[in-house]
A and B are shown apart, each in its own frame.
Chain A
Amino acid sequence: MQFITLIHTDEAPWETFSDEEKEGWYERYRQLMRDAEAAGVLAGGHELASTRDATTVRIRNDETLVTDGPYAEVKEALGGFFVFECESMDDAVDWAARIPGAEHGAIEVRPVHVDPEEVQL
């Protein structure tokens, strides 16, 4: 089964970090990716640009409304995610707990929906 781990963290402290501090965090993320790859569970992962670079699209009464910014202002914004191939939710939670962002933010773990009868993208 695939599980997505959604990394929610406060963006404000990150923007105050020096390049060295950022690199320290990035190295911890890279180490996690190496470990997950070695364990054969890493199925994807991406870092998203800041919510400042977000654009939100809505259709209301057949009209397309485009606004700058995220769909909602939340304190801990989605900043990226990993996809893990795991046997169970418990295993996915173990990997989620190893994500550096779990120490200061929140990691939401969700099963990826798969229906072999349906057309997938």
Chain B
Amino acid sequence: MKYAMLIYGDDSAWVDLPDEERAALRTDEMPQWISLFEELRRADPTVSGKELDGRNTAKVVRVRDGERLVTDGPYVETKEILGGVFLIDLPDLDEAIRLASLIPAAKDTGSIEIRPILQ
């Protein structure tokens, strides 16, 4: 079964950091992510992932009565925002849960939502 692991977290503090501090935090966290990537690749060599830029880069597009409405900012009703996604083929949900629990962003206020991908 192919799954999407949707990584939700509150990035409001993160996007407001000065560039150097954000870069330093990324460098600190990178080893945890690299070991996660290795674990994901062991589970599925075809795994892929996308990290999304912060909430300040988002636009929302709606079309109503043929008219296009574009607004700045993410589509959110919550503090948490989608920050990235992994696409991975796994034998079952238990394995997806095990791997999701290794994602560093599952900690603090983060959540990993696992959704099957329809073929």
| Chain A residues engaging chain B, CB cutoff 8 angstroms | 2, 4-6, 8, 46-49, 51, 53-60, 64, 66, 70-72, 74-76, 78, 81, 83, 89, 93, 96-97, 102-103, 105-113, 118-121
Contact = CB atoms under 8 A, between A and B. Distances in A.
Contacts of A107: 60-62, 75
Interface of B: 4, 6, 8, 26, 30, 33-34, 37, 40-41, 47-53, 57-64, 68, 70, 74-75, 77-78, 80, 82, 84-87, 93, 96-97, 100-101, 103, 106-107, 110-118
A55 B106 CA distance: 13
B60 A46 contact: no
Contact of B49 (A51, A66, A103, A121): A121
A121 B47 contact: yes
Main SS class of interface, A: strand
Contact of A109 (B30, B47, B61): B61
Nearest to A50: B115
Contacts of A120: 49
B61 A97 contact: yes
6 contacts: A4-B50, A46-B4, A54-B114, A56-B111, A72-B77, A102-B63
B5 to A, nearest CB: 8
